[in-house]
Amino acid sequence: MRLSTDHILVSHTGNLPRPEALDRLIEIGGGTTVSPRLIDHYAFRQRLPRAVQGIVDRQVALGVDIVNDGEYVKAGSYGGYIYERLTGFEWQPYDPVVGPKRAPPSGRDALEFPNIYDSGLWYAGAGGPIRPGFMTRGARPPEPTQLRVCRGPVEYTGQNAIAEDIKNLQAAISGKPVDGFISSLGPLSVGAGFRNEYYADEETYLMAVAEAVRAEYLAITDAGLIVQIDEPEFATSWQFYPDWTLSDLRAYLTMCVEVINHALDGLPEELIRFHFCWASPHRPHVNDIELHHILDLLVQIKAQTYAFEAANVRHEHEWEAWKDIVVPDNKILMPGIITHSTDLVEHPRLVANRLKNYATIVGRERVHAGTDCGMGSRVGHEDIVWAKFASMAEGARIASNELWN
């Protein structure tokens, strides 16, 4: 990835509002474990190149330097797409006696705030029109009817699919002064939430998942594009296991770093961006793990850029935690400086101040402007998304003028 040599480069971390023509072809399944159904697969694929071109042009016009395809190929499901590209996973009927493998991403919060989670104030998601039925406010959702389980060797079979993704983005950015990135699910987010009934133990299982998904990462970097490893698991594991101690978490994340680095083995570090967050749903988040507990482990991940949630009111102060560790000289920080957690549009001055905070730690050249998470499915209306992006670009311009002049 380019350094911010004469201005702070602007990017983001994920999905963007989809055009209505694509939405009409999708039946949303919802969540990270249920794949959507394409009502007309052929028509969707026919429309996709034009839609990708449109969203790239929109990003360029807004002043984004490192753009993506809007994550349109994921068709409304953050994680479900990957299981169409992997062997080894099967659906099994949900057994309420056995229950899921672990607590939900709100596990610790749910224990502390039972009245919120048992009432109509419980949030299934975080608002936004792009995933109807998923990001909605209401009562606690019913238990699932089925869950995925690993019952065979995990291998990657999505070569044709990722080649099409790459082709569409390359065509859309051709001739433009921008870089392109494609988001791909991290090995923990692919496998850690599902029971393993095939491999000898959990680490062997996750290493096999890492080896499989590496094929997708490699295809992206071989094409000269940036691969963004989406791995919210790195921060949300603390909520998944409410009975863990801090020592338990750090031992688990130490193993996770090995798994992630196995997935990245042999890839060019300068084309790898690692993204993590504390999960998107609107909830108290008072039990999120604090950044200072995991930063020393994070910087061991073999990515050039770390993209992380930093603009919401629960975590904004944690920019100071970066002062307490040694950030390797070859690393770039891409904090979220606009957030999905509110429909309020951040003032450009606030954006500039947030960016300058990080510049005081690693230098202006090693800061990129980013978003907390993908904005397209998590904000109340797409017009708010674009207003936030415009504010991010203007704030980055202000910070750049002050940092370079």
**Tens digit of each residue's pLDDT (9 = 90 or more) over 228-279:** 999 999 999 999 999 999 999 999 999 999 999 999 999 999 999 999 998 7
The torsion of the CA quartet 235, 238, 239, 240, rounded to 10 degrees, works out to 100
Terminal C-alpha separation, the chain: 24
**Reported confidence tier of residue 118, pLDDT bands at 50, 70, 90:** confident
| The three-state (H, E, C) secondary structure of 199-240, written as one string | CCCHHHHHHHHHHHHHHHHHHHHHCCCEEEEECCHHHHHHHH
Distance CA 260, CA 275 (A): 12
Give alpha helix (H) positions in 228-363. 233-240, 246-263, 295-298, 348-362
Distance CA 3, CA 266 (A): 22
Q: Which residues contact 87 (CB under 8 A, 6 or more apart)?
A: 152, 153, 154, 155, 157
Tell me the whole-structure pTM to 2 decimals: 0.94
Distance CA 74, CA 382 (A): 18
Residue 114: its H or E element:
helix 114-117
- Residue by residue, DSSP assigns 386-400 as HHHHHHHHHHHHHHH
Q: What is residue 135's predicted lDDT score, i.e. its pLDDT?
A: 44
Distance CA 306, CA 141 (A): 33
Which amino acid would we find at residue 304? Q
**Reported confidence tier of residue 152, pLDDT bands at 50, 70, 90:** very high
Q: What is residue 44's predicted lDDT score, i.e. its pLDDT?
A: 87
Mean pLDDT of 294-304: 98
Domains of the chain in start order, with CATH, are 9-404 (3.20.20.210)
